[in-house]
Amino acid sequence: MTKFVHRPYDKIYVRDMIKLSLDDFIGMMSSLEAASVYWTDGVLFASFAMTESEELAKKEMQNEMFLDKIIFAVYEKHTKTVKSSTNLEIGVLNMQKSKLYQDLIAWLKTQSVWNE
């Protein structure tokens, strides 16, 4: 039988964190066709990985990940979609049960960008 092992990342490096208004967040995300919008602990967010390379693949094998940026907006309650003041609407995936995303948002809330 195949052996399965769950192994969370040891470290995730984040190059940039960008806090946006809800309207700006929806506008930006609606312009990206394949982007997924997640919600956890009162935050709508999307993360963008760095461009794949052999060096980054080696880091992944060493249990490290590099993110180019995290874009986020405060949004207290989860809803299946969110609509801007100009009627742009995007779907929202509830990731509240993800320990990784819970940890990410808890960490994000301790960063100076959170209070901007």
Quick check: 31 pLDDT over 90? no
Tokens 């990731």 found at: 95
Quick check: 61 pLDDT over 80? no
Quick check: 85 pLDDT over 90? yes
User: Residue 113 carries which side chain, given as an amino acid letter?
Assistant: V
Distance CA 60, CA 55 (A): 9
CA 65, 43, 88, 21 dihedral sign is negative
Distance CA 24, CA 22 (A): 6
Mean pLDDT is lowest, of 28-32, 43-47, 50-54, 73-77, for 50-54
* Bridge partners, residue 83, by sequence: 89
Distance CA 42, CA 31 (A): 23
Q: How confident is the model at residue 34 (pLDDT cuts 50, 70, 90)?
A: low
